[in-house]
Amino acid sequence: MRLTDKQIDRIADSLLSALLKEGGATLKSQRGEVIARIGGVIRENLKREEALDREARTLLEAHLKNAGGDVDEHKLLVMIKKKLAEEKDFPL
């Protein structure tokens, strides 16, 4: 999933608003700082997924080089990605 910085900030802002309005939370710092922290968590999570994607593609290419054959590469890529995510305890 790719989101721009602006979109991530928008999500972070909405999450904070919901926390304050409905979640019974109170700010202990500047609103901007809290939004930045939430955005950071989301960015980090998306970066992990991107890294997982890259690793899965590398493994797929290695597999295709060695095994070849008529396989559905996309399905295989999804399977590899799922397997890697399980190993790394990263929910997709």
Partner 1 sequence: MKFSEQRISHLSHLILDGLWRDDLIDYEDEARALTVLKQTLTRLVSVDARQPRMADSLRQVLSRGDGEAFVMSRLFALCLVGALLACTPAGKVERREAFQPRPEREDLYVLPFTRVMVPWELNETIFDRFVDNLNDSALPEDYAFTILKRSPKDIDPQWLGEQYYISGEIFGFRQESGCCSTLLQLTGRVRFHQPGQDQATFIAEYPAEIFFDHDDSSLEIERQKLAAEIADRLSRQLLDALLGT
CB of 84 to partner 1, least distance (A): 15
Q: Which is nearer to partner 1, 40 or 79 (CB)?
A: 40
For residue 90, the number of C-alpha atoms closer than 13 Å in the C-beta half-sphere is 18
- Which DSSP letter does residue 28 get? S
CB of 51 to partner 1, least distance (A): 15
Instruction: State the distance between the two ends of the chain, measured CA to CA, in whole angstroms.
Output: 10
28 binding partner 1? (CB under 8 A): yes
67 binding partner 1? (CB under 8 A): no
34 binding partner 1? (CB under 8 A): yes
How many Cβ atoms from other residues are within 10 Å of residue 56's Cβ? 20
CA distance 38 to 32: 10
Site for partner 1, rule CB under 8 A: 1-4, 7, 10-11, 14-15, 18-19, 22-29, 33-34, 37-38, 40-42, 45, 64, 70, 72-75, 91-92
